[in-house]
Every structure is written in structure tokens, then in C-alpha cells.
A and B are shown apart, each in its own frame.
Chain A
């Protein structure tokens, strides 16, 4: 449920294109300080850079009004100008002081997507961005070996069939590696470097 800020039925956000793009969640209008409340402890302010250039004081007022409310405070910046560098930098600094997180979006749709995602994910555990271990052997092996530069998935298949296991690849000599189709000198050396050379020098 996304809550809209209204000042006695008259919203600051009236006619804002972002509103019509909010699709996946229900909208509700209420008298709140921020522009959007997207969770129990999460709020968002919306700022179009075009508007900000015309009225640079506006966002400061809003932030001041916000005070210390909410745990996660987001400034959703709609980047709709080309010369955005200076403005963004200034906003970044201000937000750092005021404990606000900036999210930059490049279209009204994207803004809306962010808002609805915040709502939908309110209680979602961060598993999707955590380190995962529940994959099967082959894909872990692939991920591991392709972390070496220039090794591709075809090479992984070749390595696996030739040396049968990860430890087998570790034991392979440079010559053995070069004998595999698709693996040249450089690639073989990179593989050897990753496996054999020490992680760091010891004093």
C-alpha cells in the first residue's frame, strides 16, 4: 500500500506522471510529511532535477520538515536533464548530512518501479543478494573457473572432462592444460597463476 501525501485533499504530486505508472500496489491518499510512504519505516521524497534547478530551495524545505522521521529515507531523483553532474553532487552532499539515501532514476516508469518495489519488498529477506550456496555442482564449478580471466564455459567443460575434478585441474601441469582444445598458452598460464601462485607474499 503506497500512501500519498496530501495537504487537505490537495496533493503536491497532483498530475505527477510517476503516479500513473505505479501499478503493482494499491494507492492510498493520506496527510503525511514525505511524498510517499512505502513501508512502515520507509519514506521517499520525489525530486525532478528540472524542477530542482528552478526551485533549489524546495527540497531543503521538504527535508527540514521531514526532520528525523522514518528509518530509511529515500530521495528519489528523476534525472531528466543532461547537465546533471553539479546538481547531483550537491544533492549527494546534502543527503549525506541529512541521512538520506539517493536513488537516481531516468524515467517516470523507473521511479514508479522503485516505489512499488520498495513496497513489495518491505518484508522480504535479503536472500536474493546474499551469498548463496544452494546451487548444484556444475554451476558452482563453472562460476569458480570462469572467475579466471578469459576462461569460458566451453573451457570449463573441457577442463572438467579432462581432469575430472576441481582438484584435478589444480594438479594439472601447464603442458597438460595447453593440450586441451581451446586452451592456449596465455589461458593456461592464467589458470596456473590462479591455482599455484600464493595469495600474498609473506614478509
Chain B
């Protein structure tokens, strides 16, 4: 490919101003203005084997994108090389020696710097992406300190395209610059003069299409907003002491809202009850729902809603700790939401629910639905006959997303334009239509829709074929949901019978489950009463008693429904069903071919390039998901004349602007689709405003920023400690040794901020992989660090017990460091709160067989700590209010102690076959630990036997037993394969 990457005037001037390899600075640029192009131009300039340029903080996608863009720019052999965690130490050392441009994660880099695997003084420069994420305690700040310790001449350039996220502390920009030891900032918002000049020369040709939502969608939308509002006010009510002004529904549209909430609640996070945590989680769920409403098809949304309801009801059956259900599910609005979501999929007629629920459409509502039925009446028999796979009495509605037909319309219009105004032959543009969506899922959805649609049907029903297929998938899913339910219930019954220590608890659960079951039975027997009691009939809205039931009553109904679906499917017989699917698939395939033939302009084109050869370029539609900076390249390569933005995205608009400005003489037309009065619209507009505000704030801060000179110089190591004195030293006079004290740190601990702070405090860090403990201070002292959430979690799952066991076995002084977070309150759960749990009876299942009063409950952290100290009398505890404090404590404890021996520390507790020094996949390890039969003791062994969790899953029973032993092996294998049909 010979795509040349050209720059706009503002990009050129930016590159020129930051190119100088002797200066260090930070660049803040608005998203969509071509940060990647700028970065790669810079990298190209620096690329030489005699240079060693490190790229930090790039995500996997970014690494790939930058690599390929560099390749296009002619930076190949070797181009960008990526250090992955699969690479071992020796390979890395070789790589660093070769020089060039290397992308490395901070976790690996920090280890290599500490072990001097990378020649720090020879680094030409660091390029730090995502500068917005840097805080005083982050790993990047540590790296910069290490880097500057040995290297004053190298450059450091930081980049960020997310000004909204620079909010840490009072002077956010200054904090980042101080940590990166920078003095200069370039800020390039969209309203920057140069940017304006470069982009405004050619006005955009944008067609904005505002599509209203369907009535049912609107209902769902309103309900979600209501639920969000209710959840928010509930949150405010239960946390009156907090400043919650930022908690508005408008803010709640954003992903960042989670961060705001967490920040507000952080000082008390470990103190807030499970209720608040649940509420915060609910908000996320609801926010996702808002997005899903607009992007998922009706059935997928319904499926998702049912999953939510299901997981909320089942949790109480299985005896999970957090038994309280999401409060919003009890709201009337939730009920409306669920009903509307179902109405979009199908209508269950009387016959279908005969065995389960009585007809519940009453009064005027009946008419309304009848009218709707009529409207969609033709729908049911578009192929002339009723589908035989449909359960009797289920009337499919299968509402389509309004944007689908809109897209078809737009595509037809484009086709017309193409015919009317053919491209001049010398033009570089192509007649490809680029459809951009927010996610891969929408992409697939549209591809399927366009591929299977039947244009002879009226608007809104053209995708019937696809929707019917989804409905079938849904029915199968539904029957499985039901299957799962029953064994679950049976299992908890067994558990109740054979339970040992937790018998009472299980008993509770059991009775709960039984009650539920009985209730369900009673309901079924007297279904009339059920309707009156709590079914979501519209007439119930005014009834005061029925309100509380809300959506949860839906759950019962849902189960009943899935019962009947399952029954129906089973009557059909599995084999037959299989056959049907096959037949249908074939029909589908046929149809697709047919559509491709008649509708030549609408084949779904896959990304494979070979396709371009088969289909002439005028007839292609490419559907892609937004993918950040990679889109620039996409536009440059495809050079489309028509772009359809299926979902709004401000960055992409800028990218189109850049693309237009880069290709003069190209008439690009953009169709911009937006749901009217939807979350999408609000989100888009607010997003624009927020970015602008953020930039203005940062520019203001830059204007008035004071950066103290000389602050960056490392403090001299004057306050070295007096270490253990050798009595053999003549005279016994005090000799201050000049070597700094050493602490051995587990490589996995580099995710926390303590190693960095320890280093800042003048302690030498030796990173190794430890089996026992996190930090080794002296030959006798071994520390296990736990942050408060960690402490709670590891006390609950028993991991801490095992860790303490190991520490006690191998070290004289096992120490537990309980580390509170800075800015967070320095205290554990308040006692009164602990008591109120017990007394209020809100969490009855948590109570344990107790001595004589209520106030000692096993769930409190305090009680568990007591048990821990009782079990390990030798265990010492350090209570530290912040990581800074921990570092000071370590220094204190180390005074007058001999230095630890790294070689010894590694071998302690390690078994044969352990790999020392390799980075581990912690996510996989955690997953592995959670599997029954695998304990902290044998986890290393398992990890040396199988390469991944998947490998374990693929083993036969005997294979698992070979690794774990007969009993645990069986347990493990049964867990892995439970629920499979043999």
C-alpha cells in the first residue's frame, strides 16, 4: 500500500514544536484531531537503531494501530516492537540493546528498570500516552523518577486526548506535570485558532436525521429515567452527609459518572452498607440499559432484562451473601419497562398463558392493544402461514429499531445520488458507503439486517426474517433459563440436609426457597388471585398494596412462561427442533443469496479485501464500528464519498473534518442519525459541552500555573539509617553505611503504589516473584499487604488464612499490613452500624449461632480479625493510614535489622517447577483459584501442569484427578462440566 500520511497545517506546527529531542513537554489534544498521526510522525523522526525510544501506556489496540500506521509511513524492519509479558528477561534485555522504538507496559518496565535490565542512562526518550491517568502514586510517576535518577538528558513527551479526565486534586494539570517532571504544555482543543483555520476552509455537507423512537421504546426510555431518578434519590437519602450535587440524571448518562460517585463515596466506601453499593451498581446497569435500548434489537433487550430479573431472584435461592435485590426492580416504572420490552417482542394470548396466568389486559388497555394488534396484524402471516415452531398462543410482534428502515432509506437515496452524479473517472474517491456504528455488535446486527431484509414488505417489517430467527434463539434460551432454575432449587435442598456448621444458615435459605416454591404453586393453583395480588396489570397501578410487588412479580410470571416454553419445546422433541433449525438456516441462506442477487447494491461486505475484487466498488457498503484513532486510517484508505453515522460520535465528526481537509476536491456527504429526545441525544450534546469546559479549565490553569524550580531534584540520601553494626568492627564505633536499605518486593505488588513510595523514601527495591508474602524486610520479617477491600475479600474467601499459614511456617515474624487509602477515612466499619445489621434484622441470614447476644456477628471484619489473631498468635499487624505511612513504617522496622536475601526469599515456599521471575496472568490465576478443589496450596502445582484455565476445562475426569487427586479432582471436574448435556 502506498498511502502517504499527510498532515494538516496545525498538525505540522504541533510536530515542529515538540520535535526537539532535548526538550520535554506534554500535549493535550482534542479527540479526533489526529493524535496518532502526530505521534507516528514523531516516532518516525526518532526511529533509528542508535536511539532507544520507549512508548508507554499504549493499549493493545493502540500498539497494533501505531505499529501498522508506522509501517505505512515506511518505518519497517523493525518498526515498532512490542514487549509482551510472554517475553522473558533475557529476550527483553536483548531487545533493549538493539534500540529503536519499543512499546512496553509500565509494569514490565518498572521491573526492568529496577533490575537494571534496561540501561536507564542510554534511553533516548520516553513517550507516555494517556497522561491523564497519572497520579502521584501511579506506576508511571515511579518510572519517571527512576528514569530521571540516571538520565537527565533524555526527553519525555506525554500525550493525552482526554482532558475531561484530568481532575485529580486541586491543580490537576500541575499534579501531572510535576509527576512527569515537565514544564511545558501544548493544548490543542477544537477551538484552537490554528485548528479552526485548518479545518474551516471547507464546510461540511452534513445531513442530520432525527429519528423519533417508537412509542414502546419511548415508554421504556421514560421508565429507565424514572428508575434512575429513584435510585439516585435513594442514594442521596441513604448518604445524607455527602455532597451529592453532581448526582443528577443528566450526569448519570456518562461512564464517568461511576467515577464521580466513587470519588464522593470513597472516603466512606468500606463503611457504606451493601445497600449503597447495590445502588451504585444499579445505576451502572440502568445506564447500560439506556444505551442498549437504542442499540439492541427488541429481543436482545428483552433477554437482557429477563437476565437481570432472573439473577436478582435467584441470588436469594442460592444463599449468596448479598440477598437484597435492586430496589429499582420494585418500582412501578420497572414493571412498565419489562412489559413494554415484552410487548416489543411478542404478545402472549390467553391460550398461551392458560396454564399459568389469567388474562390481564383489562379495560381500555385492551382496546389499545387490539388496535396495535390490528396494526401489526398482517405481520403474523407475512409468509401466509403461521410458523409452526411458535408456541401456541404466542403472537410475535417483533418491533424493529426505527433506525433500520431509516438506514435503508438513506442507502436508497445514496444509490440515487450515485446514479445521478457519477464519480469523475480521475477522482481518487470511491463510491463506497461507509456506515459507522458504535459497536461491533451493532455492526453485525446491521449486516444481518441488510443481508436478510425483504424489501417488498412495508417499512418497519423488512427485517422480519432476522427477527424471527432471533425469536427462535430466544425461545431456546428461555427454556434453558428454566432448566437451570430447577436443579438450582434441588441443590439447595440437599445442602440444607447435609450442612454442618452452617446448617442454620442453609435452613434459612431452604425455607426461603420452599416458601417461594409454595407461593408459586399457590399462585398457579389460584391464578385469579395472583393477578389481583401483584401481577402487573395496568389496573393495579392505583392499588396501594400492589405497588411494592412491582417488577418482581414479573419474575414469577417469567418463570411460568419459560415453563410453558420449555414444555412446548420438549413436546416438539429435540431432534425435530434441531432439524427445524437446520431447515430454517438453509432457507435463510437461500434467501440471503436471493437478496444478494436482486438487491445488488446491498450485499453485506466483510472486511476481507478479496471481496473488493468480487463486487464492484460502486456497490459496496462497509459497516464498521468506531475505533478511535484507527478510523483516520480507515477513512484515508477507503476514501468514501458517503458516510452514514448510525450513532453520533463527536470524535468521528472531527475525523471526517480532518479527512475532508486532507483531500481537497472530494465532496463528502455525511448522514448523521440521532434518536430524538433520547439518551443518545443528551449524551452527545453534554459530551460536547463537557469537553469544551474541560479544555477551558485547563487553559486557565496553565495560565496561572506555578511550577517551583528545582523541586524535581531528588532529595539527597542524607537520612540514611544506621544499620546493624558488626561487633567485630574495631572499637564498635558507629559507622554509617552508604548502601541504601533493601526490601524484596513481590513482582505482583507493582500494581500498588507502595513500591514506588518505598523507592522515593530511599529504599532499594528488589523485584522478584515471591511465593510467600508480598514484602520481605529482613530475613525474619515478612509482610503481607492488604488494602481494606482486599482484607475484607480475602478474609471472606479464606485466602488470607492460607497466606498467614504460609508466612508463619517460613518466617519468624509474619506481619499483616492493613493499608487504608489516602484521602479515605482511617477506620473500619463503625460499630453501631455493625450492630444495626444484627438488630434490625435486615440481614437475617448473616447471623450465626452466637453466644448470648446479637452484637457479635461473624460478618464484621473485626470478628474475623479476632479469629485470625487467635489462630496466629505470632502474627503482627501494622495499621497504616496511607501508602506513605506504610513506607515510613517499613523504614522504621528495618532499622537495625540485617538485609534480606533475595535468593533465599524466592525459594521460600516455592515448589519444584515454579517459574521464578516470570510475570503471571493474574486474572487467570484468580479464576483458577475460584474453582472448587483448587486451593492456595495446590494452585501453583496446577499452574505448572496446565497452561491455561481452558486447558484445564478440556481435560478428562481422569486427567483432572491426576493433577488434583481423586476427591478434589472429581469435585473440580464436576463443577467445570455441570449443566452440560452428555
Contacts and interface: CB of A to CB of B under 8 A. Distances in A.
Contact of A153 (B311, B441, B501, B848): B311
Given A114-B866, A134-B495, A160-B979, A96 B893 contact: yes
A121 B980 contact: no
Nearest to B920: A200
A12 to B, nearest CB: 23
Interface in B818-874: 826-828, 830-832, 834, 848, 850-853, 855-856, 858, 860, 862-871, 873-874
Interface string B947-982: 111100110000000000000000100011111110
Contacts of B923: 147-149, 190, 193-194
Interface stretch (A2-10, A52-60, A61-69, A178-186): A178-186
A181 to B, nearest CB: 4
Interface string A121-148: 1101011111111111111111111011
Tell me which of B858, B933, B946 has the highest count of chain A C-beta atoms within 10 A of its own C-beta. B858
Interface string B855-899: 110101011111111110111111101000100110011000000
Interface string B302-344: 0110011011001100111000000000000000000000000
B855 A144 contact: no
B870 to A, nearest CB: 6
B930 A137 contact: no
A164 B980 CA distance: 6
B307 A201 contact: no
Interface string B581-617: 0000000000000000000000000000000000000
Contacts of B495: 134-136
Nearest to B300: A181
Contact of A196 (B813, B850, B948): B948
B802 A109 contact: no
A166 B954 CA distance: 11
A134 B502 contact: yes
Given A23-B853, A178-B441, A199-B920, A138 B832 contact: no
A142 B655 CA distance: 42
Interface stretch (B81-89, B524-532, B698-706): B81-89
Contacts of A130: 798, 801
Nearest to A99: B874
A152 B307 CA distance: 11
Interface residues of A, number: 95
B688 interface: no
B258 to A, nearest CB: 11
Interface in A102-134: 102-104, 106-107, 109-110, 113-114, 116-118, 120-122, 124, 126-134
Given A113-B856, A166-B978, A184-B441, A200 B919 contact: yes
Contacts of B977: 165-167
Contacts of B832: 109
A24 interface: yes
A50 to B, nearest CB: 16
A181 B876 contact: no
A171 interface: yes
A157 interface: yes
A195 interface: yes
Given A101-B869, A165-B980, A182 B307 contact: yes
A106 B828 contact: yes
Tell me which of A23, A109, A117, A168 has the highest count of chain B C-beta atoms within 10 A of its own C-beta. A117
Contact of B949 (A88, A121, A133, A170): A170
Contact of A143 (B799, B865, B930, B978): B930
A41 to B, nearest CB: 8
A136 B319 contact: yes
A23 B879 CA distance: 26
B931 interface: yes
A126 to B, nearest CB: 4
B555 to A, nearest CB: 12
B866 A137 contact: no
A16 interface: no
A116 B835 CA distance: 14
Contacts of B802: 131
B953 A201 contact: no
Interface string B206-217: 000000000000
A129 B864 contact: yes
Contacts of B943: 199-200
Contacts of A139: 318-320
B947 A101 contact: no
Contacts of A84: 826, 881
A13 interface: no
B801 A126 contact: yes
Contact of A137 (B86, B491, B860): B491
B281 interface: yes
A182 B288 contact: yes
Contacts of B850: 120
A113 B831 contact: yes
Given A138-B318, A148-B923, A195-B924, A164 B879 contact: no
Nearest to A25: B851
B935 interface: yes
Nearest to B490: A136
B862 A110 contact: yes
A93 B893 contact: yes
A129 B831 contact: no
Contact of A168 (B881, B971, B980): B980
B921 interface: yes
Contacts of B308: 154
Given A122-B870, A129-B798, A199-B943, A161 B307 contact: yes
A45 B813 CA distance: 21
B480 A129 contact: no
Contact of A101 (B827, B877, B932): B877
Contacts of A138: 314, 318, 488, 491
Contacts of A79: 826-827
A128 B936 contact: no
Contacts of A135: 319, 495
B975 A166 contact: yes
A72 interface: yes
Interface in B279-307: 281, 285, 288, 292, 296, 300-301, 303-304, 307
Contacts of A109: 831-832
B851 A120 contact: yes
B64 interface: no
A104 B879 CA distance: 7
A89 interface: yes
B853 A140 contact: no
Contact of B311 (A143, A154, A166, A203): A154
A150 B90 CA distance: 34
Nearest to A139: B318
B201 interface: no
Contact of A160 (B440, B484, B862, B949): B484
Interface in B340-388: none
B548 to A, nearest CB: 23
B800 interface: yes
Nearest to A130: B798
B177 interface: no
Contacts of B230: none
12 contacts: A71-B873, A89-B892, A96-B876, A131-B802, A132-B798, A144-B930, A164-B480, A166-B977, A170-B953, A194-B923, A195-B953, A203-B90
Given A135-B319, A161-B484, 7 more contacts: A92-B878, A103-B869, A133-B933, A138-B318, A140-B930, A141-B975, A195-B949
Interface of B: 85-88, 90, 281, 285, 288, 292, 296, 300-301, 303-304, 307-308, 310-311, 314-315, 318-320, 439-441, 444, 477, 480-481, 484, 488, 491-492, 495, 499-502, 795, 797-802, 813, 815, 826-828, 830-832, 834, 848, 850-853, 855-856, 858, 860, 862-871, 873-879, 881, 885, 888-889, 892-893, 915, 918-921, 923-933, 935-936, 943, 946-950, 953-954, 971, 975-981
Which 3 pairs between the two chains have the least Cβ-Cβ distance? A131-B798, A144-B930, A181-B304
